[in-house]
Each structure stands twice: as C-alpha cells, then as structure tokens.
Amino acid sequence: MLPSIRWLRFGIALGVMAGGLLACHQSGGQKSPSVNPPVSVEAIVVQPTGGQREGQVSAVVRARHEALIKSRVSGRVLSIPVALGQGVRKGEILLRLSSRSQKAAVQAADATLREAQKNFDRIDALFKSSSATRAEWDRARKELDVALAQDQRAHSIFGWSEIRAPFSGRISQKRVRVGDTVIPGTPLIAVLESGALEVKASLPSSWAGRVQPGERATLEIGLPPRNIPVTIREIAAGTDPLSHTVRIRGNLSGPDARGLRAGMFGTLSVPIGTENRILVPRSAVLDQDGLKEVFVVEGGKTYLQYVKTGKGDGDRIEILSGLSGGETVVIHSDGRLENGTPVRVKGAA
C-alpha cells in the first residue's frame, strides 16, 4: 500500500503545479499588448489648381548675326592673321588674297586715268581760249569720266583681296588655309556678332497657334542648370513639311545670359495654354536614391506613394503623376514615418 500512497501524493503535487502554471498563463494573457502612440503630423488635402501649361523643346543658342564671308575674286590665300574664337573689331583685316591679275588691272586703270586726265586738261585749256570746240570738250570729259569709273572699280575689286570684319565679333569658322587657291563664291571665314545672342527652337506645328511674339519663355541650360528668361521675338509663318515644326527665335535676357556662347544647347519651356496642376509644398516630397515619394494619410495611417515631379514654383513643386487630387499628404512629421505608421493629423477633429 505504501507505494500506491506515494504515487498518489506525487500525482496530486503535479496537478497543483500544473494548475498554478495555467493560472499564471491565464493571468498574463489578460494584459494589453504595448502599442506606440500615433505620430503627430501636419498634412494638406491636395487639390488641382489652374495654371500655365508649358511645352518643352530642345533649343540652341546662336548669334543673332553671323556672317560667312565668301571670296569675290580669284586668287591664293596669302595670310590669315586671326585665330578661331578670336575677338575682332569692325573693319579689321581677317584674310588676305594674292591676285596678280587684279593688281595688273589696277595698274592699267591708273595709267588710263592719267592719260584721260592729261588729255582733258589740254582740251579744257584750248576750249577756254576758243581753240577747241564744245564737242571736243564734251568728248574729252566723257573719256575722263569713264576712265575714273573704271579706275575706281579696279581699285574696289583689288580691295576685295583684303577680307575685313563686317562687324565686331568673334571668328567662328575658318574654311581655308594659307596657300589655298580660291575662286569667286568660295567660303573663306565666318564672324559671330558680339553680345547679340538669341535662342532658336522648333515647335510642333500643333503648338504654333498657342505661342505669340512677345510671350515669355524660359531656357534651362548649362551645368549646374540655369534658368534664363527668353522673350519670343519671331515665329515662322510656315511649317516645315518634313518635320512638321515651326521655327521660333527669342531674345535672351538676365545676368546669366552673359556667360552663354553660340552653339550651346538647352531646353526651352514655352507657354502653350492652361491646365489643372497639382502643386505640393517641397517639404512633402522625399528623395530616396533618386526616387520621389510622399506619405499619404488614409484611415489614420501613412502609406508611401511614389510620384513624378515637374517644375518648381517658389516653395511648391508640381506633381506630374502619382497624385490625382483629394489625397491627404504629409508635409511635416514629429517622428519617423513608414508604411502603416499610425498618425494623428494636427488640427483634425
């Protein structure tokens, strides 16, 4: 009997221990789990607003006036005393041609003029003493006038062998080298006018009627990018039948325009109408490794929303995609936010 009593006591002890453990477990299960308090945030309800719609096209900076000078006579390039990119003044010699035939023509014209002048002086003296007729005087005068005109033309043509700058600017092209033989019409050298730059671009033909001379545009150019004001000056009357585009020209202004050079490329933004735009404070947009995102509040929690941003407008920035309007977007948070973070919007009922 003693072994049975011992086993009975052992079983009772195990039951008491199990009951105690069960009671402890049930007591612990009645405690509330720890929950983080909501993060306080400031938020706005996004609403589309009317604004200026802009179209963007590639544009290039050009000199308003560029002269490509061509030879007017035949000859050999004797010297080119200017370098590519060098600044030159109006009237400065850019290139010299050696033309023996033109030099010979000048010498012959000078000799003819001297003979005509000498003959006229003799006839004029005789006419004044009534020893020559009026017809003889008229003929001598006519011969002198013809010789004078031919001499002036010969000198002018000979002067074409010296190529001079038509205006102050910079050398943009050199088409020939010393020793080259040229004929009339051969391109020689080009000059860009100083300080008179413009922007040129081609707009889709569908935009042509929406852009008017005098309207303001913006040229984004350079590194780091600079925004330079542009005033549309000219719009072509016709459309290019191949590209279906319309050429426009605009004047550059502002201090940043001084550092531009002809040939630089940029992006021209032109006004092409109005549209509804979504603008949010810059503080609402987060940059994560180049991806733009915002936190949207829904049901008392935050959800990450990727967006595509456009141009800035002061302390606001345009949202091109990702938001459609009506969303509540966080603009400031008192704590760290993640997907599903409980939040309390300040000022909300």
> Model confidence over 92-143: pLDDT tens digits?
999 998 877 777 777 888 898 899 899 889 988 988 988 889 998 999 999 8
9 versus 238: the higher-pLDDT residue is: 238
Whole-number Å distance between alpha carbons of 60 and 68: 19
Give domain 56-64+196-274's CATH superfamily. Answer: Efflux pump adaptor protein, beta barrel domain (2.40.30.170)
> Would you state the pLDDT for residue 98?
83
190 versus 158: the higher-pLDDT residue is: 190
- For 203-235, write each residue's pLDDT tens digit: 999 887 888 899 999 999 987 888 999 999 999
How far is the CA of 139 from the CAs of 95, 109, 133, 142, 277, in angstroms? 42, 19, 10, 5, 85
> Would you state the pLDDT for residue 257?
82
Question: Residue 3 has what DSSP assignment?
Answer: H
What is the pLDDT of the chain when averaged over all its residues? 85
Q: Are 292 and 307 in contact (CB under 8 A)?
A: yes
Q: Domain locations in the chain?
A: 39-51+276-345, 56-64+196-274, 71-95+163-195, 100-160
Confidence class for position 25, pLDDT limits 50, 70, 90: very low
Q: What would the two tokens of residue 342 be?
A: 């409980």
Confidence class for position 26, pLDDT limits 50, 70, 90: very low
Domain 71-95+163-195 has CATH 2.40.50.100: yes
What share of the chain has pLDDT > 90, as a percent? 48
Its pTM stands at: 0.51
Confidence class for position 16, pLDDT limits 50, 70, 90: very low
Task: Output phi, psi for 245, to 5 deg.
Answer: -125, 165
Whole-number Å distance between alpha carbons of 165 and 42: 65
> Would you state the pLDDT for residue 34?
53
> Would you state the pLDDT for residue 24?
47
Residue 12 reports pLDDT greater than 90: no
Residues ≥6 apart with Cβ < 8 Å to 235: 208, 211, 212, 213, 246, 247, 248
- For 244-300, write each residue's pLDDT tens digit: 999 999 999 888 887 788 889 999 999 888 778 889 999 999 998 889 999 999 999
- Which residue, 270, 332, 320, 347, is CA-closest to 48? 320
Residue 166 reports pLDDT greater than 50: yes
Query: Considering the domain 39-51+276-345 in this protein, what is its CATH number?
Result: 2.40.420.20
Whole-number Å distance between alpha carbons of 270 and 262: 21
Whole-number Å distance between alpha carbons of 330 and 323: 13
* Mean pLDDT in residue range 310-335: 89
The fold of 100-160 is Helix Hairpins (1.10.287)
- Which residue, 219, 170, 225, 177, is CA-closest to 198? 219
Whole-number Å distance between alpha carbons of 235 and 213: 7
What share of the chain has pLDDT > 70, as a percent? 89
